Structure 1
Amino acid sequence: MSTPVGRRGILFGGAAIGAGALVTACTGNTPAGTAATSPPAAPAPAGDNDKPGEKVVIGFSAPAADHGWIAAIAKNAESAAKQYSDVEFKPVEPTNDINAQISAVESLIAAKVNALVILPNDGQQLNQVARQAADAGIPVINLDRVFPDKLSYRTWIGGDNYGMGVAAGHYIGKTLKDKGVSNPVILEIQGIATLPLTQDRSKGFEDALKTYGFSVTAKQDAQFTVESGTKVASNLLQAHKKVDAIWNHDDDQGVGVLAAIKEAGRNEFFMVGGAGSANAMREIQSGSGVLQATVTYSPTMASSAIKLARLIAQGKGMSDLVENGVPQSITLASETVTKDNVDKYLPLGFES
């Protein structure tokens, strides 16, 4: 996956293992936006695992913030590290250049950090340097875009792309069934169609809709950009004079999608977003437009990755689990945010 697309993915606060609960118990994709201004994803909870322990240095590397979700990844990681007096946070310059990120990670290996949190621009291309860190005895916490070699990381944490599609499909399917709609026109606006994460989202959406006897009428990818979101949504609306529901995979590109809908003056349908941006949640909260829900793939996962790195570096496990060590893989649940629960999720939203 040479295109730096992330994401995305899940609201840890409301996930199966919440960001806040993670330490007591021990959230591919979007462009164009401003830096996240939301508060830290989750306050450090009180508990034995949170008492100051052995001082650890945690290295951090991620892509440059070319959109809201990635900007929030870096902010959340830094905020989580600041919650602990026994953590020294050592970030390297964010970059969207593969070779530059490899060099940056190599500098952290040379500095002999106690743990490394890496969100790679491309898991395949950074696999070797992550393996170098692991072989040097530095535990790697692989964030979101997975390294193909499991020997290259100690723990992976990321979102559930298939689950996003399932959540969106169930919300749309149930809503249409409850309205008594038959043979609905359902449109799907993807991110980048060739990416596995996008394909997983589409498959989950398709599978969930099937349980209601529905299917996608038309879909088109919008490249995770605001500009393409506007263009694709405009084209789809022109091609379909009546629409019942739209699922847009990504709230950052959704800024453009909503602009096109407003420009077209269309409101006969409802829409579901993806990722859980703050601006999407505020739109849902207002109840003034077509956006009724969003399914999460939250950058709060970066906060949790830092917490996991600290536990692993200090030789601790997740205290609500029986096992002594942190799990090898944690997949966050995709939550459905609606007007009924948006107040709970809004503090964890990121700015597009």
Structure 2
Amino acid sequence: MPEPTFTSRRGLLFGAAAVSAGALVTGCTSNEPSGGDETAANNQPAADDKPGKQVTIGFAGPQADHGWLNAINDNAKQRAEKYSDVTMEITEGSNDTAQQIGQIETLINKKVDVLVILPADGKALTQVGLKAMRAGIPVVNLDRIFNSPQAYRCWVGGDNYGMGLNAGHYIGEKLKDKPDAKVIELSGPDNLELTRQRTQGFDDALKNYPDIRKVARQAAEFTVESGQSRMSQLLQAQSQFDALWNHDDDQGVGALRAIEQAGRDDFLMVGGAGALSAFEAIKADNGVLKATVLYPPTMAASAIDLARALGQGKGIGGLAEFEIPSSVTCYSAVVDKDNVDQYMPTGFR
């Protein structure tokens, strides 16, 4: 989730031709309920799990210093374990771009069949993506996008604009009958493109509700501490409002602390990303948090599905194309008390 580079909002762009024979991408969109402590990737049925050609997938991501990033790693590893024909080569992970480039170059030198890369900085790692592609190693670019489409064969990731759009529509529908309703926003860091996209989507959605006004916005840093301090500032500045949209469930933990300390319960809150703690609070339904908008870490499981299909020369079952898509955008579903049980297995810690 925290991202120092541009994350594009992309549609489903398909490759050539007709009838496919391969992997069904389930990680982005699967809704099947299940139980236990494993991630959704380990609970959902694996795509096309009939053994095929052996594929070695190199996986390189940033340091898992955030709940969402840790869930990305877990989803990728557990998805790969579903396949007897997949071997994973996993790097240690680093937020230092030079170190991550070195890790990816090691995977290239090992001649892995496919690379799955979630870059710490998409712009800075574009050249190593190009290097892999030129070496004949297809790249699945996960979430944070490279600067050039020549640096990857397929991109799979979340929809930041869609997060804001769906959060805005949810709040709009809840407040549409309330005269002069006021909303506030606790965003992510303003230097990130993803933050600007989420805010833009939120603002665009609110345009459909002329009686609702956004009266304040504060940027946090995707951390518990920043969420608590910035939320405290918002509460001090705004004595009355009807709804809050918080971009990130990790910083939302801090925001909820500030709200509890202030003794406020006179508004509804919508979160972002899909943390297990948020799901549990929504299910309990005894506080201000009523919904969260997904940025699903199950996209990493889908990336493994796509990488395996690329390594085996397959397409995606259920689609007419011979080739896998060039781009897959995961949907930012709204999770509230009506459907939280369905999504509980996808929640990350």
TM-score, normalised to structure 1, is 0.89
Confirm whether residue 128 of structure 1 aligns to residue 127 of structure 2.
Answer: yes
Preserved CA contact (<8 Å) 1:8 1:69: no
**Shift in Å, 1:40:** 4.0
The amino acid that maps onto 2:180 is N
> After TM superposition, which residue ranges in structure 1, 4 or more long, deviate above 4 angstroms?
2-9
Change (3 A) 1:46 1:191: closer
The amino acid that maps onto 1:209 is L
Preserved CA contact (<8 Å) 1:316 1:326: yes
Preserved CA contact (<8 Å) 1:273 1:280: yes
**CA–CA distance in structure 2, aligned partners of residues 256 and 25 of structure 1:** 34
Percent of pairs identical after alignment?
52
Residue 171 of structure 1 corresponds to 170
Residue 187 of structure 1 corresponds to 184
**Shift in Å, 1:181:** 1.2
Matching of residues 152-167 of structure 1 within 5 Å: 152-167=151-166
**CA–CA distance in structure 1, aligned partners of residues 88 and 60 of structure 2:** 11
Partner of 1:215, secondary structure, is strand
**Shift in Å, 1:23:** 3.2
Change (3 A) 1:332 1:46: closer
**Shift in Å, 1:41:** 2.1
Change (3 A) 1:322 1:297: same
TM-score, normalised to structure 2, is 0.90
Residue 199 of structure 1 corresponds to 196
Structure 1: unaligned runs, 5 residues or longer: 10-21, 28-36
Change (3 A) 1:329 1:8: closer
Q: What's the Cα RMSD here?
A: 2.0
Residue 23 of structure 1 corresponds to 23
Residue 305 of structure 1 corresponds to 303
**CA–CA distance in structure 1, aligned partners of residues 49 and 94 of structure 2:** 32
Preserved CA contact (<8 Å) 1:40 1:80: no
The amino acid that maps onto 2:225 is E
Residue 145 of structure 1 corresponds to 144
Structure 2: unaligned runs, 5 residues or longer: 10-21, 29-36
**CA–CA distance in structure 1, aligned partners of residues 69 and 168 of structure 2:** 26
Residue 102 of structure 2 corresponds to 103
Stretch of structure 1 that moved more, 180-189 or 233-242? 180-189
Residue 287 of structure 2 corresponds to 289
- Listed one character per residue, the Cα deviations across residues 306-339 of structure 1 (whole Å, up to 9, x for unaligned) are 0100001100000100000100000111100000
How many correspondences in the alignment? 326
Stretch of structure 1 that moved more, 114-123 or 183-192? 183-192
The amino acid that maps onto 1:137 is G
Stretch of structure 1 that moved more, 76-85 or 191-200? 191-200
Change (3 A) 1:25 1:257: closer
